Structures are given as structure tokens and as C-alpha cells.
Structure 1
Amino acid sequence: MGIGLAFIAVLGLIIFAYIGTDILGLDSLFAIVFPYAAVLIFIIGFIYRVVKWGKSPVPFRIPTTAGQQFSLPWIKYSKIDNPATGWGVALRMFFEIAFFRSLFRNTKAEILNGKLYIGSNKWLWLGAIAFHYSFLIILIRHLRFFVAQTPWCVSIIDSVDSFWQIGLPMLYMTDIIIAAALLYLLGRRIFNPHVKYISLPSDYFPLFLIIGIVTTGILMRYFARVDITSIKELALGLAYLKPTVPEGIGSLFYIHLFLVSVLFAYFPFSKLMHMGGVFLSPTRNLANNNRMKRHVNPWDYPVKHRHYEEYEDEFREKMKKAGIPVEKE
């Protein structure tokens, strides 16, 4: 049910963009209004979520401990998985963000023929890291549309990405990798019964949305030729706040742009916000030094203690009637 709703929602967005541009001729709405609105929602929503998370009280240190804790100098401890210093936390965060270390060390458990089997789950790590880095490289490559002169770093990434020099236009490795990674992540949610059971429409929707973005992008580059000059003119106008809508861009590009706009607007309100949340997770960004340093709860307030004598003085008669022994008669 969840996968059907998500698929219908993305399909509806595609049809909406096609009708709006190819039939109704609302090119300015899809080329200017929606992208600006999406970026505005993304920025405001992202800041709101980060500030809201930052205000959440964390009175106790609750880092995830996946290794030997620091105790005595002659006992070797895990500096990355159980850091006790700020530098250890920085190293842990670097490996977590850059290489998905916790996902790499993740395990899966299955019961086969009545026996519990625990094994590695490296395919999930490989699919996740392939998707994220491919997506990042594709975003960097797209920067050339928003500047008049392509930066040298973008040119280098573009050359490395297309070093096979297959076909014309040249085939990008990241296009193949991100398509394969998306199919794996989607197939995992469809064919893995454990993951399928807990999957919601909010899990499928961004997958189908990104698949739609990647598919339309691949179609524009390798199959349905579009006017790159007009697209760059539009992108430059959007970047410099002087938008113009050139003629003859085509509805396929507007569908692509509209799906990207929806992704930007949807981002702050979805699970995709783990991009910002990973920096604010108390299970990751705190040192495990509870045995080295005493941490006092800043919200503690002086508690008015009540001695037993005062309690008995107040309830002595009721205690006697209930047959409860008292110290004073």
C-alpha cells in the first residue's frame, strides 16, 4: 500500500508538470516560481529543524559505545568507537560522515531452520555510500550551469567522471552507479520482508522522487536531446536573481526541474534531514567520559526534603486507624 501511494504521488507530480508546461504553457511558473519557492522552503525549513534540534535538552551524556571504554592508561581503549576526548569525537564524526562507519560495522540477524545466524550487511553499506557519493558528484557537476565560467575543480571532477569516454555525449560513471544504487535500495524495501514490513510511504516517496530526477536527467543527456545553452541561460538567471525563460527548452527539462524543486521543498520535513541531524546526534557528538568527569544536570533544582517524623506527625491518626505501626503515640 505504501509503495503504491508513493509511486502514484510521484507519477502525479510528473503528469502535473507535463500538463502545466506542454499543454497550459505555464513555463514561468515551473521555471521561476517553483524553484525559488522550493529553495526558500529548503533554507527556512533546514534552519528551523537544526535550531529546534539544537534547543532540545541533553542533560546526560548518551554516546553510543561500541568498543572498550577508557579506564586505566595501560588498558587499550577504542578511540573511535568509544571516544573519551574531543579529538576522538571529531575522528569518529569524520569516519561516520565520510565513510558511514557504523553502517559498515552493522550486522544482520536471521533465523533459518530454527537457528539464529548473524552476519555482515556490507551490501547495504555499499549501496548507501555509492548513492550518496554519486549524488554529491552529480550535484557538483551541475554547478557549471550556475556560473558563467566552469570552475577548474568542477572540470576535473567532470573529466574523472567521464574518463571512459564512451559514446557522445560521454558516459558518466556516476549515472550508472546512482541508478544501480537506487534500484538496490528500492529492491531492498520491496523484496526484504523485514524491511518491507516497517517501510512507510515516507520511505518510498523520496526514493521514487530521486529515481524520477535521475531518470529524466539520463533521458535528457543520452536520449532526448535538449538545448543546453537555453538551460544554462535559465540557470544563470535564477542564480543571479534575474530569471528569464528561454524558448524551446522542452517539457522534459521542466519535469526534471519540478521534481528537483519538490525534493528541495520536501527535504526539511522528511527523513532526508539526517544530513543535518547527524551533526546534532548526542549518541555521536559527545565524548564518553562519564567515569572521568562528573556531569551535573543543569536543570537540577533544590528539592525540599521531608523527614519521616514530619510525615508521621501529619498522618499519625490515619496510620493508627489503618493499623500501621507508628513510632510516636
Structure 2
Amino acid sequence: MLRPVVVGVDDSAESLAAAEWAAQEACLRDLPLRLVHAWNWSPHPASDVPADAAAVGAAQRVRARAMLDEAETRARAACPRVRMTADPLEGPASAALLRAAEQAEVMVLGSRGLAAFTGVVVGSVAQSVAAASPVPLVLVRAGEPRWACARVHFEGEVTSKGKPERPCADVVLGLDLADPCDEVVEFALTAARARGVRLRVLSAWRSPALYTLGPGELALAEKPRREEEWRGFQDAVLRSWRGKFPEVEVVGTVVEGRIVTPLLGAAEDACLLVVGRHAHAGHRLGQHNGPVTHAVMHHARCPVAIVPYP
């Protein structure tokens, strides 16, 4: 049985963008799509919900179904041939979505990112799910068309070789050379292959502090030599993957210092940014995301895939 692409929806613009992205991802992977909306009875319901407890539950179910119906319409428009189901989930949103993720191939949520002036941030639900999801989680923002290059696969705009007529943005992978896990690399390459685009791989290195070097080691601290060593290390990591995905053009880059700024710069022209997250045992709620994951969740302008690895 195929595991679906699961997308959590609510009444936000980001959620509807996530439903569109998830529908196209399901089509690209030839997987079913499952729309879910998590709701829970609240002692302080929305102003348009009746105060009576029984009526509150009924009204919330109606609202949940309306949200799912709207998301289904948007998803169907994004990919008419997608196989789709829609289910309301009862319970606290984070816990309900994580239970749904256990049966998913990929989990998708809307994300507001971080507005520099308003201070609007990725919601607590998205942060909790991102920190504990057992499967790759993709966060999608509203109003960013870069990811839409996948639409050419559904509009007939392809050449005889099956490639899009118009260029699409790259998939970008932030690769930690200290822990180059297979799950993250494979997810990024699979995404690039499905879209018929390049994979750009960015890795960072740092010069060792001079006081940590022993006699005769100062020459190794020279920037050109150190950079060349790290570039060779990255190429060695990617060499076997190039053989497994010969149809994907892989372009590697190493940068000195912190990876966040160049990664966000590359994401400006990307259709998807992929980073890894160490999957701590138990997938407990309340776990924290690492500094790189935290930064790209809040600031990247393209969809962000957070891939757990052992």
C-alpha cells in the first residue's frame, strides 16, 4: 500500500498554498494525497461558534469540513488527476498531525515564515511537527511562485525528451559534511529528478583556530588548501550519488564560515530547499530544531524540506 503525501490544512492562505504544493508533489511521486484538518473543542471557541458544548462540537466539525472542501478544490485545480482523501482529525493539532505523519511518505504544512517588521513567525504547531516528524516535512509559504515550476509537468509543456520547455529553479541541498546522511541526500536528488532540474549542494567549512594547531600544521591552515580539501571531501560524498541519479546534474559548492547566509541566498532562486534534522529517539513534542533548520524555517522564501535522519 502506497503511503500518501499528507497535508495539514486550516483557513490560512499558507495552508491553501501547502495543499497546492502537496497535490503536485503527490502527482510527481505518483502517490495519493491526504488532506487533514486537526480540531479540538476549546473552552474559548471562535466568536461565531455557539457557546453550548454540543453545538460547539458540531459547529467545529462543520468548519473543519468547510476548510477541507476549500483545500480540496485548490488541490484538485493544481493537479486534476491526483488521488485524494480528506479527513478531519480530533485532538490537539500537533499530536494529531504527528499521528498522521506516521502513515505518510511526506508531511506538508503551511508556513508564515518570519516577517522582519511584524514579527510574525512560523506557528507553534509547525515548529513542534518540524522538530518531531518521523518523515520529511515540507513547509510552504503563500505568495511565492518559485515552486510552481512543477506545473509544467501537468500542462503538456514538455519536449520530446520529457524535459520542461521553460527552465525551472534548482533544488538546493544544505549538506553537513560532518554528517552527510543518506536520507537527506536521497530526498533532495529524488525531488530534483522528479522536477527535471539541477541539484545545487552547499556545504560549509571553517579554518581551525591557530591555537589548536601543532608544530608543522600551520601550512594546513592556509585558506586555499583547506578549501580545496573540503571541496574534495564534498565531491567524494556526492560521487556515488551521481552514479545512482545520472539524470540529475549535481553542482557542489563549499563556503567558508556559517552556512545559513549562503543557504538562504541560494534559496532565493530555488524551487525547494532541503536540510537535515537529527531524529532524536521518541519523536517527543517540544524538541528543538537545530540552528540551521530554525533559520531556514523562518527566513527561506521557497518551500523548505526538513528531512529526519538517525
User: Do both share a fold (TM > 0.5)?
Assistant: no
Structure of greater relative contact order (alpha carbons < 8 Å, 6+ residues apart): 1
- Which structure would you say has the larger Rg? 1
> In proportion to residue count, which structure has more helix?
1
TM-score (norm 2): 0.22
TM-score (norm 1): 0.21
